[in-house]
Amino acid sequence: MKIFRYCIRKYMKNENARAINFCLGIINKNYDQTVDIVKYLSVFVNDEYFSNDIFKVVSSYLKNEDNKIYQWVWCWLLNLYIKTDISDFVDKELLKRIFMDENHNSLTRATALLAYAKHLHDFELMFLKKTYYEAKCILFKRAILASASKLPSTVTKELFNIEDDDELDIIVLKNTCQLTNIKSK
């Protein structure tokens, strides 16, 4: 494993695409190497030549219900969707299914929502307001607020109002989002 890490980090540093197919081939075999694989693949997710292949494999791996995937592996793989700026190859339905599934832990759902929101237009995110009021987990609420910051301030004005029962994390994020919306005008 040390040799693998050394090689993959060297390829990553040199932006050498030589190991992409190898990494995609072992992505479901060795959980211990997921972090290194994702860091390496993230170098290439914005290259149209490689992006399609990367997301085909990752999406099919995440869709396969026979795979017993640890939640931290879900988060790392979903991070690839956040890192890419190419929306053409992103499986938005998969991301939606993940963040709507309450069987996933909060961090996985939040990561999927952030990736989903990144690759949608602002008018497609109108559902966030309703989702925010239905959410119970603070981490998921924070992801909703961060995703909602793409929306116009006329829509988010009510969402970013500080309420008496808001926790400190939510208050800080709402204040930050309000300041961001003011500065962007």
pLDDT at 169: 81
- Tell me, what DSSP letter sits at residue 104? S
Q: Where are the alpha helices (DSSP H) in 84-137?
A: 92-100, 106-118, 128-134
* pTM higher than 0.85: yes
Tokens coding 60: 């099919």
- Tell me, what DSSP letter sits at residue 170? H
SS3 state of residue 43 = coil
Classify domain 1-120 at the CATH class level.
Answer: mainly alpha
Q: Where are the domains of the chain?
A: 1-120, 123-185
pLDDT at 185: 46
The owner of tokens 């992505």 is 27
| Helix, strand, coil % over all residues of the chain, rounded to 5 | 70, 0, 30
pLDDT at 49: 93
Q: How far apart are the C-alpha atoms of 183 and 66, rounded to whole Å?
A: 47
Q: pLDDT tens track of the chain, all 185 residues?
A: 788 889 999 999 999 999 999 999 888 787 788 899 999 999 999 999 999 999 999 999 999 888 888 889 999 999 999 999 999 999 999 999 999 999 899 999 999 999 999 999 888 888 998 998 898 888 999 999 889 888 887 778 888 888 888 888 888 888 887 766 655 54
At position 40, the amino acid (one-letter code) is Y
pLDDT at 119: 95
